[in-house]
Structure 1
Amino acid sequence: MSKYNFYKFFTLYFILFGIAISVLGSFVSYALQVKDINFDMAKKANEIFEIKTDSILKPFIENMDNTVISLVSNNTIKEFLKTRDEHAKNELEQIFLAVSSSQSIITQARLICKDGKELIRVEKDNNNDTNIIVEKSKLQDKSDTYYFQKVSQMKEERLWHSKIDLNIEHGKIEIPYKPTIRLAMPIITNGEFSGMVIVNVLVENLFLAIGKSSAFEHYIVDKENNYILHANDKFSFNKYKNIKRSLNEDFENGLEAKGVYTFALDNILKNEDKATLVFKTKKSYENSLFKKELNTIIIILIANIILSFIVAIYISKTPTNLQAALVKAHEKLNEFASIVDKYVITATTKPDSTILSVSSAFESSSGYTKSELIGKKMNIINNPQQDKKIFLELWSTILKGEVWSGIMKNRTKKGDIYWLEQNVVPTLDKDKKIESFVSVGVDITAKVELERLASIDKLTGAYNRRMIDEFMKKEIFLHVRDSKNLSLIMADIDHFKLVNDTYGHQAGDAVLSDVGRIISSTIRKSDIFGRYGGEEFIVICPNTSSQQALILAQKIREEIENFHFAEVGHKTISLGVATLIANDEVENIIKRADDALYIAKKEGRNRVVLG
């Protein structure tokens, strides 16, 4: 393809790309704006709720609560309930009348005795909208009413709120409908219920105040999903009007749907309704917000498309010039991949460790060909001597989708040991499930061998003094931290100088080698054995008490005593035992073992002494 054709191709490509980005950007922007609109509507709903409750509902309820409290707090009530004095009754009637007249929303205020009979009732006269005192002959027995049953069972003077319902007179709902809430408080005398004050409050104006806003339709539902307040007044108090109205008819997707906001009112209306105030976003309000945002997005989209044409013509020159550089970079990448394949030990396996691919470097290190490896399990190169804990740790890590790093002791096709410093990386599919494992390793066999040689005494095969000192520091730290026993055995070959002087250094080296082999085969797997210098040996005994260490030391002494050394014959050793104590350091415990060894030598050799 010529440079001119590439220029036309990239120009068209960037124009289409610019249009696609503009459309996508506009879509994302619109989605974000929708999200912001939803957030703003939720915020607005919360603000309206706070205004409605803090400035209207709460003050309304608190005012009525205080009215009931003020009536109950009047000392004349308890006196009247006790004496039934007519003078006190007249006084109370005037108080009830004054309180009712001062609050136009109070339709009834009553004093009921402990038997459920009305003693005083002040109510609103529907004919002239004034409050009147009901004559004695018209007072009723309210002992069977639900509110008397509730309040009479209360053991302390506290407020009680009824459900919000329609006012009932003589067993029938009063028409026109009068939404009503009753607030009551028991009167307790000497710990016993002696009567109650109850006030009927008209909530029609309250509902008008909290039931409307420009953005939302307002509803109040009780715990049984009956409407107390409905945007269409016909369905308000549908339970009491015997009108069936399901929530699904107004909220197709339930109260959790987008654009519907609910607020509990039971901390304000402390009654059995467990009422919830529901705001449903008006379609007209929602559409106006979305239309405004959509118009803005369209303008931005058109501007972006025009800009895409201009930018595409200009920037198309750059990709054309980059074509040659890209081809060259591709060649370099292939060259780099070839280098990685040749020098980096990599393998890809299935989740069950079946090998899918290996690098040429993997072939070289393992001695197997790719055809011999692919389809086989990764354990084809496992060394039987590898610590099983390493495999458990590896699988535990990578099966959780995490990267494992560590050192593996492997075996070549010929059976030779080689060491890899490996990183095993899980690769995941789109469902976050493990698809394969990629192993990347570095051959550190030479390094491991150098480290081994640097830590081993060549003559005896035991750890050298440098390594023993490091082990001592580590073991003391671990045993102090875990409050466990730690013991130390120091051993020295008796009259070793005489061996060198009599038989020569070559025979002395043979004795040292045999003693090292005998001690190494006698101690436990958990013990750490080393040559501490000259003819002196040391055994670190983790999780071992002094008595257990003495038994082990005696066993070592007996094995040496009973062994026949070539050319030299029989030899003995002396041993000193020390056990870790509080605040011990490496030098302290070694000195105590060494002092015990000295005593063993002094007392005749071929013995064990506890320091």
Structure 2
Amino acid sequence: MQKISKIVILILFLIGGTLFLFNNFINNYNNEIEKTQYKIDGIEFAQKIQKFILKIQKLRGYSQFDQFSVDDAGYKSILNSVELIKADAKKDIQDIRALKELYPSLYDGGYDYVIDDVKLIMDSSSEDKIVMYQKYTYAIEELKEKAYYLGFKSKLLLEADGDKYFFVEIMLKHLPNLIEVIGKIRAKTSKAILDESADNELLYTIKNNCLLCEEHIKLIYKTINEIHDDVEKTRLLSQLENISSETQKMQEYVKNTVLLHDAKIEALEFFKISTNVIDKMFILYSINAEFLNQKLNKKLDELKKTKLYGTIIGAFVVLLIFITIASMVRSYMLYAKSEKKIKNNLTSIINLKNDLEKCKTIEEIASSSLYFFANKFGVIQGAIYIFDEENNKLYLASSYATNKMKPIVELGEGIIGEVGVQKKIIHTDLNDDKKIKFRMEAITAEPSNICTIPLISYDKIFGVLQLGFLKKHENIHNEDFAYFIDMIIGFLRDAKYLDTNKEYIELIDKYVITSKTNKKGIITEVSDAFTKISGYSKKEIIGKSHSIVAHPDTPKELYKNMWEIILSGKIYKGEIKNLNKSGAEYWIETTITPKTDKYSNILGFSAIIRDITDKKRIEEYSITDALTGLYNRRFFDTNFNKEYKISKRDNKNLVLLIIDIDYFKQYNDYYGHQKGDEILKLVSLSMKSLFKRANDYVYRLGGEEFGISFYTNDKESALKRAESLRKNIEHLKIEHASSEISGYLSISIGISFIPKECAMEVNEIYNITDKALYRAKNKGRNRVEEASISL
């Protein structure tokens, strides 16, 4: 009953919501249609007011004439024109009053008040010219203000849609203002011509109105140019050009006649010229209003069509809702029938999930799964096998109510092995001859049907499930049974993965050298293999920096380069020499990978390390001198050529020193070869202590001859380092009694500064440097002699 109530509420909600939305849609479009109709009505209303204003403006102009200022024929013509205008104006008054019935929302009592004033002015004939001008002007301003306010009442001035906005601005604001300014110029200038004089105030008024006329025309030009419709814009601009030309001519008459007194024109003639300009302006006003009217009528038609379409769609939606309601009722009926089954299955799913989550091993999961099948589907016996990819065999994970299952089954062996190969369900019906009795406590059960099911994970065989039923069971083919199977496979796969992963992690920890650090390089985790190679226990090394195993010979530039790479988020790979806890050196090849969050922020670093000590020792033996530990001549021949090419590629200056111990043969003869070998070691050690930068190389080229190569910024720096080496050897104060230049051991040096622009061959550079060494010897030894390198 409660569910039926909910459905009824839902149905009512759907119907009510639809009707509410449909009602809002209709109301919105009705409001838009009403607003658009108001705007169209406002255009017609404004046009009638503007036509009436034109007649009042003309009467104001004629009020400045009298029978003494013009001839009889002219005055008679004026009187006839005034009578005709008044007659038309009175008809307009009736038409305007009739608008009260047509447009009650736009008409207000203010119109009656202004119209009554105009009637009184038209009926009076004995007023002074100035007074008449002022009364007419006041009435005109009142009507203009009413017409502009009409723009708000009709929503015209709230129009913000494209061209319509600019048409409204021209019709209600710019053109009425321009027409009024021209009307004032007409009346004031006519008066000045009639009086044949003008005071300063009148002259100022006329000048000011001429300037206003130009400003209003510019504003109209600017507004018309904003219109997007080229046809409408072109027509309006063409009319405005004609008006502008006529206005300029009219202003020329004003300037020459009233302001400069250079030309004469009759007042009545000027009146006609200016009236002609105003009439053309009203034509522009009418064209503009027609364009606006067309656009609003088009919009009105579109709104009505959209409303009609919306009504049709709304009716269709209502029909669709009723269809949906009918479908919902039908669905509810079906749901009511299957609700019990869904509840049971959902309960079974939850119970199975809860039971399997408590299991930790494959055996426990398999046993719990078989027990579930026994309770849920009446299975009287069953078994689960797991496939081992390494040896392509199926291993018994657990069995239920039977002890005759083979522990290991080959693929293709029997029904279970065949299912593992075919990946298809096999049903086996047991007749009386084939029936097997299974004893469960004191009950003996005989399965009549055995179903062997492949357990598939990611399209691969994961295992095999075999179930025995008392009778053929169709539930194994429905979606619920498949869901149970998928859940069991998921738990079995996770357990298998954890077992495998645990073994894998243990192997990695034992045999793979790994370490983890935080962002600052502090060690947070190391493998057992790391502790073996470093000699430090995990307790001793975790919380320390990797500098604990750093070798003092490793250049600082190597670590600087490494940190620049990994802090930029890139992977660093390189060879590093370290010291273990006992002080023995070892070499590693390390690959350091930054660990980042999802925003690419670096959290720390992990390193996989390979012991390359033996490899490096073999390399060192092949490229080092056995006595001194310096690089040998063979390494020099290959490495110096490589360094020379690097200097070209990286635009660096390379330096080569060739060094010879002065009178070393005599030293050997005097002190013995054993003492000579010791001296070679001391000199080598001194060279290595001075030249230990990342790209400094010290070689023993043979006997007592040595070579050094390094990079430098300039020649002065290179000469300074060479001289420091010479002095350092001399300051060792090694006694050399058989030396002819000093009582102590000394060296001679030939130096070549090889600028990055150098194009010489390596052999040439070596020979030139060697010659510089011999010059040092010939010039007295214990000195540095510079070679001349050509570019």
Larger Rg: 2
Relative to total residues, which structure has the larger helix share, 1 or 2?
Answer: 2
User: TM-score, normalising length from structure 2?
Assistant: 0.39
Relative to total residues, which structure has the larger strand share, 1 or 2?
Answer: 1
User: TM-score, normalising length from structure 1?
Assistant: 0.49
- Name which structure has the greater RCO, CA cutoff 8 Å, separation 6+: 1
